């Protein structure tokens, strides 16, 4: 079994009065037991900004990006030192892996990251992944670690993604403000997951994405065939129960028809630079025949992009049909749209997302 465990800022900063070092030591104890049973584990951890703020004596999370980036630079080393010490006591080595959204959006850099992670796992080292906050600029930022954890789970071909946070399950409303909110034990399909978007809202004082980004993460992972579990990380016994196979928190069932690796990457890692509006004929050719996209079906080109850059494919009513890598630049396309016999996107370079 391959598991990715995501540990949120909500836990690492101010979780039920447990100091960060204790939270991490408890995690290391539980996860190293799993490792001894032959399981493969990778961690995605938040906490760089939170620990940086603590070290700097900042009472709250700064709002300006540059202050967040600088605070992360202070906190990331401290965070790694805690993981390193906690796992070393149990005889396990850890490795720091810092990624930006841009790293995962480039196929070459994504494959590099996959290879490095695989090498670490082969050596029995526990990768400890975080966003490279200090370098990530606004447009290349995830901002939350939920989405990153789902992409890491896809990258290492995990069986399960565990999102540990400061709430015991997904609720039918934000439990902080909705006294009637009820826990949801299982989300059985992508359709059910999509229908839940309205119940999720943002994070707490230190967490960033809240439940909204956890649902995005669940969508990415389950559509690639990875089971997702959301559970309370405040109590180490809950993680132990989860790792022992007990039903705790919320279970998101994996899709029975997972996207193959490259299509999963196209659907979830790309950073679209523009979009193409398609006519009804092109929509039918893509969705019903699995055809490549031809210039004859392109009605409008929005944005500026080069050849092999990512674009969204939109239906005439603005719905996203899919996305992929264009064979032509926006300048070339503006000249050629409507002409027959010109390929704009090969079927292997596009994925239908139907959002
Ligand atoms: N529908 C919901 N169900 C459960 N929690 C929710 C929901 N909507 C919003 N939340 C909030 O999301 C928070 C967890 O997200 P966040 O603070 O970003 O944590 P983390 O740092 O672990 O990612 C919870 O404390 C909870 O108040
Ligand atoms: N990369 C950031 C994590 C951002 C964050 O708080 O994410 P999350 O725990 O998903 O709400 C950090 O290390 O502080």
Q: Which has more pLDDT, 108 or 207?
A: 108
Measured distance CA(11)–CA(165) in Å, rounded? 6
Helices (H), 59-144: 65-88, 101-105, 107-122
Atom of ligand 1 nearest to the CA of 173: 1
pLDDT in tens, 317-355: 999 999 999 999 999 999 999 999 899 999 999 999 986
C-alpha 242 – ligand 2 centre gap (Å): 23
Encoded tokens for 130? 């975080």
Which ligand is closest in space to the CA of residue 201? Answer: 1
Name the binding residues.
6, 46, 133, 145, 165-166, 208-214
pLDDT of residue 264: 93
Mutate to test the pocket of ligand 2, among 4, 24, 45, 46 (most ligand atoms within 8 A of CB): 46
Among the listed residues 248, 159, 246, 171, the one whose alpha carbon sits nearest the alpha carbon of residue 215: 171
Token reading at 350: 């596009």
Structure tokens at 69: 């980036």
Number of H helices, E strands in the chain: 13, 17
Residues framing ligand 2 (Cβ under 6 A): 8-9, 46-50, 72, 130-131, 133, 144-146, 203, 207-209
Q: What is the pLDDT of residue 200?
A: 76
Q: Give the SS3 label for residue 236.
A: helix
| Mean predicted lDDT score pLDDT of the chain | 93
Q: Which atom of ligand 2 is nearest to the CA of 144?
A: 7
Q: Are β-strands 293-294 and 343-345 bridged in parallel, bridged antiparallel, or unpaired?
A: antiparallel
Q: Ligand 1 atom closest to Cα of 171?
A: 3
DSSP assignment of 181-249, as one string?
--EE-EE-SHHHHHHTGGG-----SS-SSHHHHHHHHHHHHHHTT-EEEEEE-SSHHHHHHHHTT---S
Please give the number of the atom of ligand 1 that sits closest to the Cα of 184: 3
> What's the mean pLDDT in 44-49?
95
Ligand 2 pocket mutation pick from 133, 208, 211, 217 by most atoms within 8 angstroms of CB: 208
Three-class secondary structure of residue 306 per DSSP: coil
- How do residues 154-200 score in pLDDT, each as one tens digit? 999 999 999 999 999 999 988 888 889 999 999 999 999 999 988 87
Pick the CATH number of 2-263 from 3.40.1160.10, 3.40.50.150, 3.40.640.10, 3.40.50.300: 3.40.1160.10
CATH 3.40.50.150 fits 272-352, yes or no: no
> Does 17 have pLDDT greater than 80?
no
> Mean per-residue pLDDT for 232-258?
95
The domain limits of the chain are 2-263, 272-352
Q: Which DSSP string do the residues of 79-98 spell out, in sequence order?
A: HHHHHHHHHHTTT--EEEEE
Q: What is the pLDDT of residue 13?
A: 74
The two three-digit tokens of residue 100, written as one number: 């930006």
Give the three-class secondary structure for 71: helix
Ligand 1 mutation pick, 174, 193, 213, 217, max ligand atoms within 8 A of CB = 174
Rounded Cα gap, residues 301 and 304, in angstroms: 9
The pLDDT of residue 185: 97
The CA-atom distances, in angstroms, between 48 and each of 15, 95, 125, 186, 204 are 15, 15, 21, 31, 16
Q: How far is CA 326 from CA 146, 264, 318, in A?
A: 28, 17, 19
Please report how many Cα atoms fall inside a 13 Å half-sphere around the Cα of residue 267, on the Cβ side. Answer: 24
CA distances, 160 to each of 63, 152, 288, 354 (Å): 33, 11, 32, 25
What DSSP assignment string belongs to 254-269? PPSSPPPHHHHHHHHT
Closest approach atom of ligand 1 to CA 7:
22
Query: Measured between alpha carbons, how far is 74 from 225 in angstroms, rounded to an integer?
Result: 37
Specify the residue with its C-alpha closest to ligand 2, atom 2: 46
Sheet with 298-302, strands from edge to edge, namely 298-302, 274-278, 310-314, 320-325, 350-352
Q: Which residues pair with 4 in a beta bridge?
A: 42, 161
Indicate the annotated binding residues for substrate: 46, 133, 145
Structure tokens at 194: 């999509």
Residue labelled with tokens 């996860």: 31
In this structure, the chain runs to a length of: 355
Residues 6 or more apart in contact with residue 15 via CB below 8 angstroms: 23, 166, 233, 234
Rounded to two decimals, the pTM is 0.93
């Amino acid at each position: 079994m391959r598991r990715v465990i995501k540990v949120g800022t909500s836990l690492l900063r101010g979780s039920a009065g447990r100091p960060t070092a204790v939270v991490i030591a408890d995690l290391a104890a539980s996860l190293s037991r799993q490792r001894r049973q032959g399981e493969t584990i990778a961690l995605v951890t938040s906490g760089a900004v939170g620990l940086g703020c603590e070290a700097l004596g900042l009472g709250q999370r700064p709002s300006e990006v540059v202050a967040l980036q600088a605070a992360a630079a202070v906190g990331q080393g401290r965070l790694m030192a805690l993981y390193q010490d906690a796992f070393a006591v149990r005889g396990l080595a850890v490795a720091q892996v810092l990624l930006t959204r841009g790293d995962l959006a480039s196929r070459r850099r994504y494959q590099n990251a996959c290879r490095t992670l695989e090498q670490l796992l082969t050596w029995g080292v526990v990768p400890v992944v975080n966003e490279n906050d200090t370098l990530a600029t606004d447009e290349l930022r995830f901002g939350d670690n939920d989405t990153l954890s789902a992409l890491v789970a896809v990258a290492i071909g995990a069986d399960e993604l565990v999102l540990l946070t400061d709430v015991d399950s997904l609720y039918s409303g934000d439990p902080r403000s909705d006294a009637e909110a009820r826990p949801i034990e299982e989300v059985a399909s992508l359709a059910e997951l999509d229908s839940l978007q309205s119940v999720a809202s943002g994070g707490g004082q230190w967490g960033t994405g809240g439940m909204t980004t956890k649902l995005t993460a669940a969508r990415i992972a389950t559509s690639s065939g990875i089971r997702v579990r959301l559970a309370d990380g405040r109590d180490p016994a809950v993680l132990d129960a989860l790792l022992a196979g007990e039903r705790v928190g919320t279970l998101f069932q994996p899709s029975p028809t997972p996207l193959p690796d490259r299509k999963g990457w196209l659907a979830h890692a790309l950073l679209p630079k523009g979009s193409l509006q398609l006519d009804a004929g092109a929509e039918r050719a893509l969705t019903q025949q699995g055809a490549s996209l031809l210039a004859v079906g392109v009605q409008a080109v929005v944005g500026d992009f080069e050849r092999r850059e990512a674009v969204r494919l939109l239906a005439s009513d603005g719905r996203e049909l899919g996305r992929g890598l264009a064979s032509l630049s926006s300048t070339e396309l503006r000249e050629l749209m409507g002409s027959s016999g010109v390929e704009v996107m090969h079927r292997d370079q596009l994925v239908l997302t139907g959002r």
